Amino acid sequence: MGRALGILGCCLALALLPLPAAPRGPALRPRRQLRPGGRSADTACKNRPLDLVFIVDSSRSVRPEEFEKVKIFLSEMIDTLDVGERTTRVAVMNYASTVKVEFPLRTYFDKASLKEAVSRIEPLSAGTMTGLAIQTAMEEVFTEEMGTRPATFNIPKVVIVVTDGRPQDQVQDVAASARTAGIEIYAVGVDRADMQSLRMMASEPLDEHVFYVETYGVIEKLTSRFRETFCAVNVCALGTHGCQQVCVSNGASHLCDCYEGYTLNPDKTTCSAVDMCAPGRHECDQICVSNNRSYVCDCYEGYTLNPDKKTCSGAITSSLVTTEESCKCEAIAALQDSVTSGLEALSRKLEEVSEKLQAYQDRQQIV
């Protein structure tokens, strides 16, 4: 009886070892964080790339303290721009009766260097040769040798003229030639500036290209106006893009995209879920668990997921009890039988000794 129970217990223990089972459902984790519908690092308004030339009047009518205000205006304008070799390049020209290129478009590609260079500019002398300044910009500054990018790049060429007087040369024809060459001209008049001359040199529409302020003390107010003018709207940040999941800004346009695990529908705005556990889409060795956005790998019972989170190892199978295992069970059962028999014999001996001891005690009481 004891031998039979021993064999049965051993075999039951082997039979209870884990066998392959149906897939389990572990906690789902996305493979990566989903991107928001609009890029949070972007702002609703970002300066578009420009080749921008400031032409500033430093004739005798501009007092030294007023010229300092002009330099502050230039520095604050630089702060609003997306300055860089591949974004907006800035040049500054200084003019009176002569023209001086303070620095061309190829010189500085960071704001700190630009502002430092602006701070070193000194006013010139008498005269207001605005036409000559525009001519010099067209012929000497807006050239590839001086840092202007090739026409194939489609980078706007922009001039901002700041003056407080009437030009002493013929500005109308020169400005017309510049505009024909693709240069966009903004005219900023201060105090005594001649409005008719400003309108002659500026690009159309005039109400968007001609500005006027009463004094140099308030010229800084124009900074925000120019920022809005040079703004390239990020459609994604405005929330009017119509994309169901992800909006990718592309200048003034945009494209729609989808979260990982989704695919863009033919309408190019909505997304449909993709089964990440479909054949060929995952790398799981045994079990793929999908949540329609990502997937995780799992293993059958009796297996362990390896550190690569894809393959499994350590399986123990025992659908059949091997001969070696049977022999081990036989040996264990035989040992159990031997121990049981020994215990039974010892028990009988103890009972005999107990009986003899009791009989001896009874005789002693009678005597």
Q: Which is nearest to 50 in space by CA: 226, 176, 180?
A: 226
> What's the pLDDT score for residue 233?
55
Helix (H) or strand (E) holding 346: helix 323-366
What is the rounded CA–CA span in Å between residue 10 and residue 324? 13
Q: Please state whether beta strands 45-47 and 183-190 pair in parallel, antiparallel, or not at all (unpaired).
A: unpaired
Do 285 and 310 contact (CB within 8 A), yes or no?
A: yes
Q: State how far the Cα of 68 lies from the Cα of 119, in Å rounded to an integer.
A: 8
Q: For residue 183, what is the domain's CATH number?
A: 3.40.50.410
Q: How many CA atoms lie within 13 A of 197 on its CB side?
A: 21
Q: Would you state the pLDDT for residue 33?
A: 32
| Residue 310: C-alpha distances to residues 28, 108, 125, 300, 346 (Å) | 15, 52, 77, 12, 59
Q: What letter does residue 139 receive in the DSSP assignment?
A: I
In a domain, 285, yes or no: no
pLDDT of residue 273: 77
DSSP letter at 187 equals E
For helices 64-80 and 111-119, angle between their N-to-C axes, nearest 10 degrees: 170
The pLDDT score that the predictor gives to residue 316 is 54
The tokens describing 114, both together, are 């630009």
Per the CB < 8 A criterion, the answer to whether 7 and 333 are in contact is yes
Query: 257 - beta bridge partners?
Result: 246
Q: What are phi and psi of 213, to 5 degrees?
A: -135, 150
Report d(CA 298, CA 5) in Å as an integer. 38
Question: What is the pLDDT, as a whole number, of residue 44?
Answer: 41
* pTM of structure: 0.54
Low-confidence ranges of the chain (pLDDT < 50): 1-8, 10-44, 317-321
What does the pLDDT read at residue 258? 87
Domain of 223?
A: 47-233
Identify the pLDDT of residue 20. Answer: 42
Q: Which two tokens stand for residue 74?
A: 């230039």
Domain assignment present for 190: yes
How distant, in Å, are the alpha carbons of 9, 226, 293, 327, 345 from that of 3? 10, 99, 58, 13, 17
- 145 domain-assigned: yes
In a domain, 200, yes or no: yes
CA 271 to centroid of chain Cα atoms: 21
Give pLDDT, residue 277: 82
Helix (H) or strand (E) run with residue 100 in it: strand 99-103
Contact, 291 vs 282, CB < 8 A?
Answer: no
What is the number of structural domains in the chain? 1
In a domain, 261, yes or no: no
pLDDT at 259: 82
pLDDT at 250: 60
DSSP-assigned letter for residue 153 = G
Examine residue 94 and state whether it is found in any structural domain, yes or no.
yes
| pLDDT for the residue 319 | 45
Could you tell me if residue 142 is inside a domain? yes
222 part of a folded domain: yes
Instruction: Compute the Cα dihedral for 295, 300, 306, 307 and give only its sign.
Output: positive
